[in-house]
Amino acid sequence: MMRIDLIRNVCSRFDVLSVFTEELGSALRAAGIQSTTLDLRFLTLEEFQNYCREIAPDAFIGFNVFDFKNEYIDKEKYPLLSIVVDAPFHYPEIFEAEEQIFAFVDKRYQKLVGEQGHSKAFFLPHAVSKESLKGSPKKNRPYDIVMAGSLFEEPVSKDKDEAFWEVAARSQDKRSMLSILSSYPVHIFATEEEKKICHSWLPHNAFIFHEPVPYRYLSEVFSKAKIVLNSMPTLQEGLHERLLLALSKGASVVSSPSSYAEQFFKEDSAVSYYRSYDELEEKVQKILSNEKKRREDVEEARKVVLHNHTWERRLERILDILWPCL
């Protein structure tokens, strides 16, 4: 029986990567593939290498897991697929790590790395678990509009390089969205510091603030929302898990545009794409004005998510990527 183990060695805000790892692990086991999760933060090098010798997995997979110095993994024996959920220029070593297999959540990132001569760069968009699609969406939705995730991000890089501008673009997009919708009771899940920043540049707003929610509980928030705002200006040829999760839980989505997302979710259906901030308010009003149509559109979108964007479907692509190495 095939064995593909999952490895972790990083923390992420809202514990997103932990949930991705759990959901992919469930998809592997449901497909009859043996799998366990190893956290390299709590294993010594000797313990990990002993595990490899004793268990001999066919391959490893990790989200944002890198082993650039080949310290842990002999990749000739154990192929390592790293699913990179951020832009590659946050990790410049990627461009030289020719022996490692990478999958990126945006086609532009895959192309960028491939153009540098990396032959093992693939496209693998975000996904959600089948569990999120079970049952019928709730009809009682007390939140007209919800925004969740990092409200404002400080670029780690101070050199004003690609990594700097990528983070700055995400923050600016959210700020512009909220400026347009400042008179609406948008339910924002943010830290106290983010709340203060928001009030500093929008002192007269109708926003309702809540404590941040770990990703594993975000579905409960989205199940109460009619609209989820999705800012993904840097995923122009990819797909964000927040969009998929919102649809899964019965919410419509107003999102920055993505050519890949539009292949599955057409304009002004369950997903509305704003190409300028001037049209943002009109799109929100249109969705809120017709609850019957909103629910019908979302129900069709949930079928699309189930058939195309679960971890079970992503696993098919992952096995295609890994198969030549096994």
Instruction: State mean pLDDT over 9-29.
Output: 93
Residue 168 and residue 45 share a domain = no
- pLDDT score, position 160: 65
Domain match, 241 and 160 both: yes
Task: Give the global pTM.
Answer: 0.94
Average pLDDT over residues 102-122: 93
Residue 152: per-residue pLDDT: 79
Instruction: Tell me: do 17 and 63 sit in the same domain.
Output: yes
- Asked whether residue 76 falls in the same domain as residue 162, the answer is no
Report pLDDT for 273: 97
Predicted confidence at residue 77, as pLDDT, reads 84
Looking at every residue in the chain, the average pLDDT score rounds to 92
Per-residue pLDDT reduced to its tens digit, 113-160: 999 888 899 999 999 999 999 999 999 999 999 999 888 777 666 666
Q: Tokens 């898990």 identify what position?
A: 241
Q: Based on the number of CB atoms within 10 Å of its own CB, is 155 exposed (0-12), middle (13-18) or buried (19 or more)?
A: middle
In the chain, the DSSP E strands lie at: 4-8, 37-39, 59-63, 80-84, 101-104, 121-123, 143-147, 186-189, 208-210, 225-230, 252-255, 271-273
Check whether residue 123 and residue 157 sit in a common domain: no
Give the per-residue pLDDT at 155. 64
Q: What single DSSP character describes residue 167?
A: H
Same domain, 145 and 182: yes
Q: Among the ranges 1-15, 157-171, 290-304, which has the highest mean pLDDT value?
A: 290-304
158 and 115 in one domain?
no
One domain, residues 35 and 91? yes
Do residue 119 and residue 141 come from a single domain? no
Rounded-to-integer distance, Cα 3 and Cα 37, Å: 11
* Torsion sign, CA atoms 262, 265, 267, 270: negative
pLDDT digits (tens, 9 = 90+) for 240-268: 999 999 999 999 999 999 999 999 999 88
Domain span holding position 157: 130-308
**How many structural domains comprise the chain?**
2
> Is the per-residue pLDDT at 75 higher than 80?
no
pLDDT in tens, 195-246: 999 999 899 999 999 999 999 999 999 999 999 999 999 999 999 999 999 9
